[in-house]
Amino acid sequence: MAPRDLPAPDAPLKIGTRGSPLALAQANETRDRLADAFDLPHEAFEIVVIKTTGDRIIDRPLKEIGGKGLFTREIEAAMVSGEIDLAVHSMKDMPTLQPEGLILDTYLPREDPRDAFISPEFAAIADLPEGAVVGTSSLRRRAQVQHRRPDLQVVEFRGNVQTRLKKLEDGVARCTFLACAGLNRLQMSDLPQTPVAPEDMLPAVAQGAIGIERRIDDDRAAEMLAAIHDAETADRLAAERAFLAALDGSCETPIAGLALLDGDGGLWLRGEVLRPDGSEAHADERRGAVADGAAMGRDLARDLLDRAGTDFFDWIGVA
């Protein structure tokens, strides 16, 4: 049953998003799915671009200016104030807790969660010569690269996909890493890239997933979003984000995690924690029922905390 008071061109549903090409592609996908689900014209939706702190400050590493809220605070404030009705987010950027009055319970079908190795010269990280320069803005990728190849140099690579590719073209580094999901959504299949197997580089928690946030008391939005919600993505993220939450993870912590479904009601969760300099890493996995995903995530986090010891986690403030 369609919700009452569907949006219309003269009273559009306002969808908030960051302004990068990838963020806009994700907002447009959300709009398109809602339009198709309720047989509405695109004009019944308005994409509202909101610049976040993380977008404005691009000359410093994220760890120096704050955590994951850098890409969400201004957008969430606009939703609380009623400026927008929905917010579309890359789930890997989302804190595990939402501000009072907001809820994040809708996910679109997940794209390829893997990292892509990008280089005009080489096909894989193993091919890089000793001392080669790798560019990345991700603390996780930096730690994973340095753990596997401590001989490599890693330099800061802030900016959107296009900015980072320009830096690569200018020779700032000989390779970089981008999310396969983002490249797919931007239709950049012609870029020289090699997907990295999770066994070689476990991706960020929730990488490749789009989440849609709303006001908790907005019944119309809740009914509309239910029509485009992907339950399988929700099951996978329940395990991954429970793992992240138990580690108190943010952009300041090198944490990786990936959950896969086996099609028979089972879930396979892998997780990894690293020191920022890559000098130490701990990884493990859990297998169990999909319904137990969140409990598996918390159990995996506790195991890695116990195994690594409290000294390992002093730098992220986990007790």
Collapsing DSSP states into helix, strand and coil, what is residue 56? Answer: helix
Q: Are 162 and 58 within 8 A, CB to CB?
A: no
Q: State both tokens at 242.
A: 């429970």
**Alpha carbon distance 116, 317 (integer Å):** 31
Which tokens belong to 174? 């000989």
Sequence-separated (6 or more) residues with CB below 8 Å from residue 109: 230, 232, 233
Strands (E) across the chain are located at 13-17, 45-49, 86-90, 102-107, 115-118, 133-135, 153-155, 175-179, 193-196, 210-215, 255-261, 266-274, 281-289
Distance CA 17, CA 33 (A): 16
Torsion sign, CA atoms 20, 23, 24, 25: positive
Whole-angstrom Cα distance, residue 240 to residue 243?
A: 5
Active-site annotation, residues: 93
Do the beta carbons of residue 86 and residue 225 sit within 8 Å?
Answer: yes
Cα–Cα nearest to 209, from 188, 175, 235: 235
